[in-house]
Amino acid sequence: MKHMTEYTDLPPEVIIRFREAHILKEFRKGSRILNQGDFSRETYFILKGCVRSYTIADGEEKTIDFYIEEDAVLPLNYGQDIESVHFLECVEDTIVLVSNEENERRISKEFPELTEASSTLSKRIIEKLQIQFTEYKISTPEERYKHFLQKRPQLVERIPQYQLASYLGVKPESLSRIKRRLSEK
């Protein structure tokens, strides 16, 4: 069996250094990075793969978001003494860089020049979140689907349709209807 990391673009020597520093983790498809109810002490940066964030409310799965290559995953309730309200589950074999609060403090001390990059990253995340939230709020499910196709075209092929439906806030039957309607246009 080929090793998962063979599928990333990173040079093998970098992978080895990351692994030795315990900041690289590999997960098989279907496995969970975080469980609802656990404490969340880590953040992730996805090198390869696809992760779904979802919660179970009233016995029903509700998809919060999907993350792929070069996405940063900051769990809800990260670093707080509150049980996680959501799962992080790998939709594909996934490789992540792991960080935590101690690590962040150490890195920002050692590399003060990274502070600005980190602040820029935070601002981009805020921007992205605000825009996503706004679009979600002001759109119908059909519009949400069209946005999704436009903005994350590669993702549609990678995730099960029932998960996409739950992300859009509709039942799988409604998503099929939306797709039919759009293909008839």
Q: Is 83 in the site for its own copies (CB under 8 A)?
A: no
Q: Rule CB under 8 A: is residue 114 a binding residue for its own copies?
A: no
Q: Is 171 in the site for its own copies (CB under 8 A)?
A: no
Determine the Cα–Cα distance for residues 41 and 99; give it in Å rounded to an integer: 9
Q: Considering CB under 8 A, how many residues would be counted as binding its own copies? A: 27
Is residue 161 involved in binding its own copies (CB under 8 A)? no
Least Å from the CB of residue 13 to its own copies: 31
Please, what is the minimum distance in Å from the beta carbon of residue 31 to its own copies? 22
- Tokens 């953040």 belong to 43
Task: Write down the residue that tokens 């706004």 correspond to.
Answer: 134
Kindly state the DSSP code that residue 37 receives in the 8-state scheme.
Answer: T
User: Does 76 engage in binding with its own copies (CB under 8 A)?
Assistant: yes
| By CB under 8 A, residue 107 contacts its own copies | no
Q: Is 74 in the site for its own copies (CB under 8 A)?
A: yes
Alpha-carbon span 144 to 38, nearest angstrom: 31
By CB under 8 A, name the binding residues for its own copies: 55, 57, 62, 64, 74, 76, 78, 85-86, 115, 118-119, 122-123, 125-127, 129-134, 136-138, 169
